[in-house]
Amino acid sequence: MLRYEVAAEDLALSRFGISPAFELATLLGLLERGGERALPPGWRERLGPEFARLRADPAVRAALALHNPRFGADFIAIPPRGMEQTWADDLAAILAAPPEAARAEIRACLAARPETDREARAVLDAPDAVPLVARALDRAWHGLLARDWPQLRALCERDVVHRAGELGRRGWAAALAGLHENVRWRDGGIDIPPFDETTTYSLRGGGLLLVPSVFVWPGFAAHHEEPWPCTLIYPARGISALWEPGTAVPPEALAALLGRSRARILVALDSPASTTQLARTLGQAPGAVADHLAVLRAAGLLSRARAGRSVLYRRTPMGDALIGSAG
């Protein structure tokens, strides 16, 4: 079992982050290994031809060789600094990797994957291996993930809004509730049972990094070695909207009463969200979403409150009751 011991000062220093690099690496691994696990319906069929085209490039295969089920090269696994992390930030960090450290990590990954093909190994043996791999990952980002990233990012942001609120109002146990069935708060620490070793790590006043993810589902990931701080990467709340698209369809009675677009917005607000997040999640224009939110709020079905630089909307008890009666 893995256990993170949490001291009082860790609460104030714990933070959330979003990791485009982790999402890309996980997506590439899922596409490379095949099978149907952990990709939303239709994604494998939609992304398969582009992935096959990318994989014909030895530099892309070299990037794939830097991951295996147990570990990956640290210089392409960038710990996020916060919620504003972008793919451009990650790419810049990869390009800035110290060459000697990157070379040592490449050797370790090749030792774990000796079957790596000759052309891919030539890329990894080249003096400019780091920029070659970085540019290959950039092509993969734009070919596979960039189009869907605004929606996926919105899902992760909404998860953070919910958990940050729970952490502030009710503490660690509430914030971790539902994070993953194998992660739980116990006696001043976080237990992660599936790991084989029984190891305890103290956060040492450094806090915990919590990273919501789309493609880690149905599992999770934990980091506790440099360059990562103690980290939990977990399935973002609300990703069922991707795996089970039918769950976002409002009941017919509710759609008839409010109109389908407003009903979808009301159903989607099972956790607080901003206008922009809702627009990305539902694929609607921000202006149209703003208009619908104003009508729903005037009807007493929604409330709003400022959180930092965002205005978040949430259902009122009347809105919850309407959803329940229409279901």
pTM reported for the whole predicted model: 0.78
Q: What is the pLDDT of residue 21?
A: 96
User: Residue 326: is its pLDDT beyond 70?
Assistant: no
How far is residue 94's CA from residue 76's CA, in Å, rounded to a whole number? 6
| Of residues 257 and 205, more confidently modeled | 257
How far is residue 70's CA from residue 56's CA, in Å, rounded to a whole number? 25
State pLDDT tens for residues 242-253: 766 544 556 787
Asked whether the beta carbons of 133 and 76 are under 8 A apart, the reply is: yes
- How would you class 243 by CB atoms within 10 Å of its CB: exposed for 0-12, middle for 13-18, buried for 19 or more? middle
The interaxial angle of helices 286-298 and 260-268, nearest 10 deg, is 80
Is the torsion defined by CA of 173, 174, 176, 179 positive or negative?
positive
Asked whether the beta carbons of 201 and 2 are under 8 A apart, the reply is: yes
Q: pLDDT grade, residue 194 (50/70/90)?
A: low
Q: What is the pLDDT of residue 250?
A: 65
Q: Which residues contact 162 (CB under 8 A, 6 or more apart)?
A: 237, 271, 272
State pLDDT tens for residues 227-280: 888 899 999 987 766 766 544 556 787 888 888 889 888 888 877 888 988 888
Asked whether the beta carbons of 43 and 51 are under 8 A apart, the reply is: no
State pLDDT tens for residues 284-307: 888 999 999 999 999 888 988 876
β-partners of residue 312 are 305
User: Residue 226: is its pLDDT beyond 90?
Assistant: no
Out of 30-39, 57-66, 148-157, 301-310, least confident range: 30-39
Site of tokens 């982790």: 22
How far is residue 155's CA from residue 296's CA, in Å, rounded to a whole number? 22
Name residue 96's amino acid. A
